[in-house]
Chain A
Amino acid sequence: MNDEIVLAGRSGHQLMELSRQMGWSLNETEMKVIASHFLKLKRNPSRIELESLAQTWSEHCKHKVFTGEITLVENGKKRVIRNLFKSTIKKATLGIAKKKKFLWSVFWDNAGIIEFTKDFGVAFKVETHNHPSALDPYAGANTGVGGVVRDILGCGLGAKPIASTDVFCFADPRTDASLVPSGILHPKRVFKGVRRGVKEYGNPMGIPTVNGSIFFDERFLGNPLVFCGTVGLIPRGAEKKRPRKGDSIVVIGGRTGRDGIHGATFSSAELSEVSETSVVQIGNPIEEKKVLDVILQARDRRLFNAITDFGAGGFGSAVGEMAQGLGARVFLDRAPLKQQGLLPWEIWVSESQERMVLSVSPAHLKAFRELCAFEDVEAFELGTFTGSGKIELFYGTETVGVLDLRFLHEGLPLFCERAEWSAPVFFIPSFSQPAGLNAVLRQLLAHPNIASKESTVRQYDFEVQGGTIGKPFVGRLGDGPADAAVIKPLPDRPLAITLSNGINPWYSDLDPYWMAASVIDESIRNSLSVGGNIDHLALLDNFCWGNPTDPRKLGALVRTAQGCHDTAQAFGTPFISGKDSFYNEFRIGEKTISVPGTLLISAVSVMPDASALLSMDFKEAGNPVYLVGSTFNELGGSHYLHVLGKTGGMPPLVRFAQAKKIFESVSRLTRQNVRFAPRMVRAIHDLSEGGLAVAAAEMAFASPYGVELDLSFVPLGEKKMRADEVLFSESNSRFLIEVQAEHENAFRRLLKGVPFARVGTVTPEPFLRVRGARGELLLDSSCPVLKAAWTRTLDW
């Protein structure tokens, strides 16, 4: 083997220096383990072997933080956590799986799969594409969508993508340009680029983009977060896969190029003003559509035994993963290239887009090749799966590397870090109730986190495939913000899928545990508000964190994972898939800005009857309006405090037992609803950012009507609360519901045992009027005025 690299004899410091120079992102312990492995083999490693190890052992591929050993010092007490993922998120799922039987495939594959009907499953995966999107927003988001679509294509024996979701975190697009340091793109440019990137992948592929959310905070300035999710439909039996010894390793799709080398290891590095540029790639959705057509036909004809996508780490990661328990012989010179002159190691780790790898038995090779030719997709045989336990890499007749599979997958030393956590002390900010609450409400509605995202959503095709029955915007004019999307993918069956999300990093500044509980609660609330079913609902977690070697940040991560476990367990809503992204930091000169600890929860639920679909706009004047759930003085991390420029406060907690009861009651309500004519529940909206006032305003201005509320009837969780606290608290597990007048009694019966009260009435005049305990008018705004405030902020 040529291009040997001498590790023996190098000091720890020198090894680290080498890792840094080569862009491997391996730490000193890992470099030492690799050095001693090759010392035992009595030879020097080649470049390609070290590249393979670096990519496979990257945070991106091995999730070292979540599977490592964390020594947590919590309030002065020390405890060791071995495998945070297993002891929190996975533990919750395994516990729930004993009772709920809808889980088909969780955690091991490219996507999680739950049962939809007896013969179809729903696959769901959400990825992050933060670092590439920081460098070029368009290209980063574009390939982010392409990547997660391939995850769905490469899950089981291939699922058919039926919907996409996209969630972004940016800095405020109104940020003054002079405050944006050089080397960083202005947040508005990032926003526009990301949006165009999503549009120009999802739309041409014919996959509707149906759900999403955008959260703004100045700490996302240098490191925006871009979450891309895709849902697929998979026939029963196709959720399992296994390559066989003797199968050909067949690669289909795009060609291999120099673009996208070192993406996996790059994601473990902090961004700086001089980041590598070869990691910027642009996607080709038309190529991926052709690949999709091949895969689905080949799946139905069972022409292959296993499939996966090429994500981070390229051939090296994907082939290394598939060959586990087998072995592989790989001929790198066979790969068709985009440009000549690529070195073998570059071919092996290139992350060029739109490529998939399949394990095809020799008997089907001819038929598979014919199918590819028919669909105009390039296919070639990269090598074969063997039983040697080794990956043998050739270029022509020359051996360029030999990797022991066991060392590749199990040789990685445990990530060991110290974490710290001390119970937060909440202080309640003291201020008097502002005089002009109407103006405060307008400010809240105009806040970019709450403001209408219609100008963004309308750029996406959310109708293609014809199954989107619950649209992102609802109401008589189609401009009210829906809580979740509903897809009915099978024309001949009444079942539907709800897609929703929850995200709020501001709560994690106060207590990440309650942040996790709150965003799970939010994602479930959103789902139930369109008719989702709490008994058939699954969650996906996406963590975006700063540097995990900072004990406080790692402590916050542990605390978040515990929140995930406790909440999921309490609600009986299992996690089925997830992803983590670390080192979301940006350095400018001496200053490091880290993103706030951000957890995106995506919820997927199966509705047995699509006609139970609900929307949030008021339907009929004179109908009573009910508030379900208790309101507490929980202004911590709220948008109300934010627009007032205050900090502190209690973060919203989740009272697990009561919340579960509320969710079950609301779920029952929406299921029974189809038996009533006219429907009993006419409109339902969850209370989140901006609390009761914002939810009521949105329900009103999405309709031609108005609403009158009386705060003295609001069910309170604590004795003394000021009117502004009741109006703007972001307490969890609450819904505002318009009930058909003649069905009020039935409605009350169905909600027995949970806190609820009639708080107002839908009015024929389009005004939002709220009265306080003494009958005083606290809010009196015309709905068109409120709506104008809400639509203006992001109307470009």
Chain B
Amino acid sequence: MLQRIEVGYRHLEDDVAGQGVRASLQEDLGVRVNSVEFVDVFESEPGFSSKDLFFLAENLFSDPITQTVSIGRPLRSRFDFKIEVRFHGGVLDNVGEMAAYAVRQMIPSAPADLRIHNIRQYVLHGRLTLVQAEKICTKLLANPLIEHYTIMQRKANER
């Protein structure tokens, strides 16, 4: 079974990646947003027992002082747009491979065919159109040659 771990920052000021994206959006694309939160997503296949999973989430995937983790469900439920970028199959995913290597070191009983994929998630807060979100993906966050992206938009009646 596929398991998903999402890791983000407790405080916006620690989220350098998110702040960098916000600045680039403004400087390079002329798009203003209120804030951007960066979330590191790890998808593991096959999954682990919940005991192992909690152990890994605390001790491998996150820094418990600055970061928070969510297992099996989205870390950020409030957003205007949520963008996820992942590599096409066959493109080297260094972070994912290194995570799998580390898991094997920490849990010797981990399955040999363990695969972990790293996905970059950007949680955007601000008034944007879907067209703008598409542009943010193609012009800044993803290169369609090696990566694909998904865009999630907050439902219109939510606020």
Contact = CB atoms under 8 A, between A and B. Distances in A.
B149 to A, nearest CB: 15
Nearest to B29: A177
Main secondary structure on chain B at its contact with chain A? helix
Given A258-B90, A282-B92, A339-B90, A189 B145 contact: no
B154 interface: no
Nearest to A353: B92
Given A189-B139, A280-B145, A286 B98 contact: yes
Nearest to A180: B139
Contacts of A284: 92, 94, 97
Given A259-B91, A281-B92, A286-B98, 18 more contacts: A135-B145, A136-B146, A138-B143, A177-B29, A185-B143, A186-B28, A189-B28, A189-B139, A257-B90, A258-B90, A259-B90, A280-B91, A280-B145, A282-B94, A284-B92, A338-B90, A339-B90, A796-B27
A259 B88 CA distance: 11
Contact of B143 (A136, A188, A286): A136
Contacts of B24: 192
Interface string A257-277: 111000000000000000001
A510 interface: no
Contacts, number: 42
B90 A282 contact: no
Interface residues of B, number: 15
A195 to B, nearest CB: 13
Given A189-B139, A286-B98, A277 B92 contact: no
A603 interface: no
Nearest to B98: A286
A437 B91 CA distance: 53
Contacts of B98: 286
Interface in A100-141: 135-136, 138-139
Contacts of A186: 28, 139
A139 B146 contact: yes
B141 to A, nearest CB: 11
B140 interface: yes
Contact of B140 (A139, A189, A339): A189
17 contacts: A136-B143, A136-B145, A138-B143, A177-B139, A185-B143, A188-B28, A257-B90, A258-B90, A280-B146, A281-B91, A282-B91, A282-B94, A283-B92, A284-B92, A284-B94, A338-B90, A353-B92
A353 B27 CA distance: 34
Interface in B55-98: 90-92, 94, 97-98
Q: Which 3 A-B pairs have the closest CB atoms?
A: A282-B92, A277-B145, A136-B143
Interface string B95-118: 001100000000000000000000
Contacts of B146: 136, 139, 277, 280, 282
Interface residues of A, number: 24
B24, B27, B29, B146 interface centre (most CB from chain A within 10 Å): B146
A202 to B, nearest CB: 15
A708 B82 CA distance: 58
B112 to A, nearest CB: 14
Nearest to B28: A188
A409 B91 CA distance: 33
A668 B97 CA distance: 54
Interface in B114-145: 139-140, 143, 145
A277 B148 CA distance: 14
Interface string A178-219: 000000011011001000000000000000000000000000
Contacts of A338: 90
A32 to B, nearest CB: 35
Nearest to B135: A177
Interface in A753-796: 796
A281 B91 CA distance: 7
Contacts of A353: 92
Contacts of A177: 29, 139
Most buried by A among B24, B28, B29: B28
A192 B20 CA distance: 12
Interface in A455-507: none
A282 B140 CA distance: 18
A136 B90 CA distance: 15
A345 to B, nearest CB: 17
Contacts of A283: 92
A173 to B, nearest CB: 9
A221 to B, nearest CB: 15
A288 to B, nearest CB: 12
B100 to A, nearest CB: 13
Contacts of B28: 186, 188-189
Interface in A132-174: 135-136, 138-139
Residue among B98, B139, B145 having the largest count of chain A Cβ atoms under 10 Å? B145
A281 B97 CA distance: 15
Contacts of A259: 90-92
A138 B91 CA distance: 13
Nearest to B94: A284
A185 B29 CA distance: 13
Contacts of A138: 143
Contacts of B97: 284
A544 B52 CA distance: 54
Contacts of A281: 91-92
B138 to A, nearest CB: 10
A277 B145 CA distance: 6
Contacts of A189: 28, 139-140
A136 B88 CA distance: 14
Nearest to B93: A282
Which of B27, B90, B92 lies at the interface centre, i.e. has the most chain A CB atoms within 10 A of its CB? B92
B103 to A, nearest CB: 16
B90 to A, nearest CB: 6
Contacts of B145: 135-136, 277, 280
Nearest to B91: A282
A91 B30 CA distance: 54
Interface string B141-159: 0010110000000000000
A286 B99 CA distance: 13
B110 to A, nearest CB: 17
A283 B97 CA distance: 12
Interface string B10-46: 0000000000000010011100000000000000000
Nearest to A285: B94
A281 B27 CA distance: 28
Contacts of B92: 259, 281-284, 353
A277 B94 CA distance: 19
Contacts of A136: 143, 145-146
A184 to B, nearest CB: 12
B34 to A, nearest CB: 21
A268 to B, nearest CB: 20
A145 to B, nearest CB: 14
A281 B143 CA distance: 13
Contacts of A796: 27
A277 B87 CA distance: 13
A338 B87 CA distance: 15
